[in-house]
Amino acid sequence: MDNNGFVKDTPWQTNGDSGLHEECGVFGMYDFDGGDVASTIYYGLFALQHRGQESCGIAVSETNGPKGKVTSYKGMGLVNEVFTQDNLEPMHGDIGVGHVRYSTAGASTRENAQPLVLNYVKGTLALAHNGNLINAMELRKDLEYTGAIFQTTIDSEVIAYHIARERLNSNSVEEAVGRACQKIKGAFALVVMSPRKLVGARDPYGFKPLCIGKRDNAYILASETCALDTIGAEYVRDVLPGEIVTITPEGGIQSDLSLALPKEKEARCIFEYIYFARPDSHIDGVSVYASRIKAGRFLAMDSPVDADLVVGVPESGNAAALGYSLQSGIPYGTAFVKNGYVGRTFIKPKQSSRESSVRVKLNVLKEAVDGKRIIMIDDSIVRGTTSDRIVKMLRDAGATEVHVRISSPPFLWPCYFGTDIPEREQLIAYNRSIEDIRKIIGADSLGYLGVERLEEMVGGLSICKGCFTGTYPMEPPKEDIRGDFER
Ligand code: SF4
């Protein structure tokens, strides 16, 4: 919170108690016919806005213009706040990258906005990164000892530097990206623009999503398929975990899978399906919406309760609530009206004031819940500070019983890979039983999705469950490295 009482906040934080953030969304495009791509990148970023609302940016270049001449624009705020017709129209280029950001590592400042544009002897690189590296601090120190001067406090700059450095000893930019990817550890989905190539890379575990699309004679890389739908592109395929794709007019899509791991070692962030991704996206062939419906069905099978109405806490609780209803036969209804205009910096009411930030964002439809036994489905409980207020709102509106069902298992461990799940001590489920939590949030009953249901929820894909089990796909750092560059 700043001195004026403004806080970082987002319309998406109305999701019950989670308030969790995705780190970023990335987008890249190369039009082989030479058309300008900036305005399409703008719409692509607009579709990825839910992945980051703090800052955004676009960098474009002309592949047949002067080598390495990049035009970029970035700023703090939402895509439609930062970009105007006046600053988009002069951005000419048939290749480009874009980014929306929420910070889990590195401060929320304009310098830390992406894409990062780096000039070096081989030309210019522009890079957009989603994810969190766990060895960025070590790599950054190594680079600083050899003379590198960093302009930002984000780990993405470490990647950009490594690519630039490796490029000096490589035959191609994709080879340099591959060598850099061998050094960096953690979660990354990258889109890199070189003077003549668009390169996409996904870490070997596949923590973060990245897909390929095509529109006429242009190729697209995007964090989620909803961005392809928005710009009228067809889905080609996902970039595979550990894959580096290089897109050029001469070669089309060229693939390098030398970093790929055996399938069973892949570790997609399950939270993409539970909460982050838009329900109209598909990740690695699995519909996000369908996976949420399944989670609701599992809850109905594993934590049944008799009631009159199933409701979801918008947005990601809605599909799971529908799944619960379909499975149980209990009618599905709408209990909450969400204020869609809660902006990025809304003035959070003081503790003492009569307004509550939950009520500013959500209101209850009294007519829908009065006199009824309600099953309320939410995607997660992190600290528990919001769930109790939502339960109370339902009771105040006349609900006779409130049964809470959560479409994820209890959070017991932090995340080091790009989700801002806090330290254990701040997690409501840490050192508490389900019954303790039920009492704290004031529900009549409480049930969570079982950890063993997670793979089933995504059709057997290999996933990361570290924040629920404490077993991470790779050794976590000894200490919490998130935001370390500021210390
Ligand atoms: S620890 Fe949790 S939030 Fe982090 S990548 Fe794994 S599943 Fe996602």
At 369-421, the pLDDT tens digits run: 999 999 999 999 998 888 999 999 999 999 999 999 999 999 999 999 988 88
H-type alpha helices, 168-255: 173-183, 225-230
- Mean pLDDT, range 280-296, rounded to an integer: 98
Q: Which pLDDT score is estimated for 369?
A: 97
Q: Compute, in angstroms, the gap from residue 355 CA to the centroid of ligand 1.
A: 33
Tens of pLDDT, residue by residue over 274-284, are 999 999 999 99
Q: Compute, in angstroms, the gap from residue 282 CA to the centroid of ligand 1.
A: 18
- Mean pLDDT, range 231-239, rounded to an integer: 98
- For residue 150, give both structure tokens: 């960093």
Q: Percent helix, strand, coil in the chain (nearest 5)?
A: 30, 25, 45
Sign of the dihedral defined by the CA atoms of residues 32, 33, 34, 40, in that order: negative
- Please, is 251 exposed, middle or buried when counting C-beta atoms within 10 Å of its C-beta (0-12, 13-18, 19+)? exposed
Tens of pLDDT, residue by residue over 442-484, are 999 999 999 999 999 999 999 999 999 999 999 888 665 554 4
Asked if the model's pLDDT at residue 214 lies above 70, the reply is yes
- Mean pLDDT, range 266-273, rounded to an integer: 97
Q: Compute, in angstroms, the gap from residue 49 CA to the centroid of ligand 1.
A: 20
Q: Taking all residues of the chain, what is their mean pLDDT, rounded to a whole number?
A: 89
Give the residue, 65 or 407, on which the prediction is more confident.
407
Q: Which pLDDT score is estimated for 370?
A: 98
Q: Which pLDDT score is estimated for 106?
A: 59
- Mean pLDDT, range 70-95, rounded to an integer: 95
CA dihedral of residues 332, 337, 340, 344 (deg, nearest 10): -100
Provide the annotated active-site residues.
24
The domain spans of the chain are 11-265, 283-469
Question: How sure is the predictor about 270, in pLDDT bands with cuts at 50, 70 and 90?
Answer: very high
Q: Domain 11-265 maps to which CATH number in 3.60.20.10, 3.30.70.141, 3.40.309.10, 3.90.1720.10? A: 3.60.20.10
Asked if the model's pLDDT at residue 347 lies above 70, the reply is no
Beta bridge pairs of residue 213: 220, 235
- For residue 8, give both structure tokens: 């970082």
Instruction: Kindly write down the DSSP assignment for every residue of 381-403, as one continuous string.
Output: -SSSTTHHHHHHHHHHTT-SEEE
Provide CATH code, domain 283-469. Answer: 3.40.50.2020
Q: Which pLDDT score is estimated for 236?
A: 98
What CA–CA distances, in Å, run from 106 to 142, 348, 448, 475? 18, 23, 33, 22
Q: Which pLDDT score is estimated for 10?
A: 35
- Binding residues for Mg(2+) are 316, 378-379
Q: In the chain, pLDDT over 70 holds for what percent of residues?
A: 89
- Mean pLDDT, range 280-298, rounded to an integer: 98
List of residues 6+ apart from 223 with CB closer than 8 A: 24, 25, 26, 27, 48, 51, 130, 189, 208, 209, 210, 211
- Please state which of the ranges 38-52, 354-368, 404-418 shows the lowest mean pLDDT: 354-368
Q: Which residues line ligand 1 (CB under 6 A)?
A: 207, 269-271, 415, 417, 419, 421, 464-467
Q: Which pLDDT score is estimated for 479?
A: 62
Assess whether the region 11-265 and the region 283-469 belong to the same CATH fold: no
Candidate of 134, 207, 407, 472 to mutate for ligand 1, largest count of ligand atoms within 8 Å of Cβ: 207
Ligand 1 atom nearest to CA at 271: 8
- Binding residues are 269, 316, 378-379, 415, 464, 467
Q: Which pLDDT score is estimated for 61?
A: 96
Question: How sure is the predictor about 295, in pLDDT bands with cuts at 50, 70 and 90?
Answer: very high
CA distance 66 to 55: 29
Q: Whose CA is nearest to atom 4 of ligand 1?
A: 415
The model's pTM: 0.91
- Binding residues for [4Fe-4S] cluster are 269, 415, 464, 467
Cis peptide before 115 (omega within 30 of 0): yes
Give the residue, 163 or 423, on which the prediction is more confident.
163
Q: Which pLDDT score is estimated for 360?
A: 76
Q: Compute, in angstroms, the gap from residue 417 CA to the centroid of ligand 1.
A: 6
Tens of pLDDT, residue by residue over 136-154, are 888 888 888 877 778 777 8
Q: Compute, in angstroms, the gap from residue 105 CA to the centroid of ligand 1.
A: 15
Asked if the model's pLDDT at residue 5 lies above 80, the reply is no
CA distance 88 to 139: 35
Q: Which pLDDT score is estimated for 11?
A: 33
Ligand 1 atom nearest to CA at 416: 4
**Sheet architecture: strand order including 218-222:** 70-76, 55-61, 95-101, 24-31, 218-222, 211-215, 234-238
- Mean pLDDT, range 171-185, rounded to an integer: 95
Q: Which pLDDT score is estimated for 1?
A: 31
Candidate of 51, 265, 269 to mutate for ligand 1, largest count of ligand atoms within 8 Å of Cβ: 269
- Mean pLDDT, range 321-345, rounded to an integer: 87
